[in-house]
Amino acid sequence: MLRIAFALGLFLLWLSGVFVTPTMVMAAGIHVDAAWARPTFGNQKTSAAYLFISNAGPGEDALIAVKSAVARKVMLHSTVMDGNVARMRPLESLTLPAGKTIVFEPGGHHIMLMGLEAPLAVGDKVPLTLIFKNHPPLEVTARVMLQPPPLARGSFSGASE
Ligand SMILES: [Cu+2]
């Protein structure tokens, strides 16, 4: 009985198009993985989100903006070392070379969420709309987590932004 229910569930998922969408996204050239965001503590109104963006080609593209319903302002930031001090700098846009994966991670590129409408708790889902120079916008869900998801854990340096 369980097995039948499982098979039926899969069939309904297939009907609803859930299995179709990722394939379509990949076919169009740009693919997003391992999206996550940090929880907030106390009255903190800012947080950061991270993800992998792969450009399967054929052409170069660029991430030019990110929007989210949970934050009044969203910016692309990179973290650069100024002597021993890590500083965040806004990025106008980020080039996505064909055939390459760009990593957003603590201590590097990140999506800065500013003016949060509500606190972010572990397990929450943060909707992000990624806007590209050429590719149509992509809707992505970042899960709020204390640690990067397994796929992103290899390069985690322990930095906070
Ligand atoms: Cu930042």
Q: 110 CA to middle of ligand 1, Å? A: 6
Please check whether residue 39 lies inside any domain of the structure. Answer: yes
Please check whether residue 8 lies inside any domain of the structure. Answer: no
Query: Quick one: tokens of 134?
Result: 């050429």
Please check whether residue 75 lies inside any domain of the structure. Answer: yes
Q: In whole angstroms, what separates CA 99 from the centre of its chain?
A: 19
Q: 51 CA to middle of ligand 1, Å? A: 14
Please check whether residue 160 lies inside any domain of the structure. Answer: no
The CATH number given to whatever domain includes residue 98 is 2.60.40.1890
pLDDT at position 21 is: 44
Q: 35 CA to middle of ligand 1, Å? A: 16
Please check whether residue 9 lies inside any domain of the structure. Answer: no
pLDDT at position 150 is: 81
pLDDT digits (tens, 9 = 90+) for 23-59: 444 445 999 999 999 999 999 999 999 999 999 988 9
Q: 91 CA to middle of ligand 1, Å? A: 10
pLDDT digits (tens, 9 = 90+) for 130-160: 999 999 999 999 999 998 888 776 655 555 5
φ/ψ of residue 27, rounded to 5: -60, -30
Please check whether residue 58 lies inside any domain of the structure. Answer: yes
Q: How far apart are CA 5 and CA 44, in angstroms?
A: 44
Domain count, the chain: 1
Domain that holds residue 124: 29-148
Q: How many CB atoms lie within 10 A of CB 35?
A: 22
Please check whether residue 23 lies inside any domain of the structure. Answer: no
Please check whether residue 19 lies inside any domain of the structure. Answer: no
